Amino acid sequence: MMTEQEVKQLLIDTEAILEGHFLLTSGLHSPMYVEKFNVLQHPKYTETLCKELAERFRDQQVELVIGPMTGGILLAHEVGKALGTRAIFTEREKGVMTLRRGFKIEPGTRVLIVEDIVTTGGSVQEVVNVVNNSGGEIVGVGLLVNRSGGKAEFGVPMDKVQALLNLEVPTYQPDACPLCQAGTPMTERGSKHIK
């Protein structure tokens, strides 16, 4: 079993978690930036994390794994592979999260929902709605990273929710940013290639 610290270290090593002094699109400053595809671009690490996620739900008799486009597709595939189940994904059609491509959830199917990083939980809530509307039975929600500070709720009991990593991402107003006050230059985000 991987500890949260081991998961965090893998994300740091692959630069999925970047540390420095970042200007966010919101205008806020942060000592941390999360770029999930920096880890998901490595199939072997995605597999490692998804096997770990799968183990957390091994005894739940999962019959179907589902995740939201885009990262959720990779996760559902790898978790489904580890559990020996079908794996499908939701996507938005005219802004509404839905099942396309002939994907079906039969009523009573035991469904595990997976997602990479949860900030507000909005996408997961939409997948929950899709599964509930199909009559599927949600047996769990598996997350790589929950950065909501425990605030995200999806209409699923919290004892069914598992995150490999709970991550606090501090943000500061520019005029109250301790990194600015320390004179730390802004971090340039370029792409480095990690093996």
DSSP state, 133? H
Residue nearest to Zn ion (CB): 177
Is residue 29 a contact residue for Zn ion (CB under 5 A)?
yes
Largest Cα–Cα separation, the chain: 58
Among 69, 125, 180, 187, contact with Zn ion (rule: CB under 5 A):
180
Closest CB to Zn ion among residues 117, 177: 177
Closest C-alpha among 68, 144, 57, 140 to residue 103: 68
Structure tokens at 128: 């929950």
Is residue 88 a contact residue for Zn ion (CB under 5 A)?
no
Is residue 144 a contact residue for Zn ion (CB under 5 A)?
no
Is residue 28 a contact residue for Zn ion (CB under 5 A)?
no
Is residue 177 a contact residue for Zn ion (CB under 5 A)?
yes
Smallest distance, Å, CB 170 to Zn ion?
11
Closest CB to Zn ion among residues 29, 147: 29
Burial 31-40 (b: 16+ CB within 10 A, else e): bbbbbbebbb
Smallest distance, Å, CB 25 to Zn ion?
15
Paired sense of beta strands 96-98 and 86-93, if any: antiparallel
Smallest distance, Å, CB 30 to Zn ion?
8
CA distance linking residue 27 with residue 31, whole number of Å? 13
**Binding segment (CB under 5 A) for Zn ion, from list 66-74, 107-115, 163-171, 174-182:** 174-182
Residues that bind Zn ion (CB under 5 A): 29, 177, 179-180
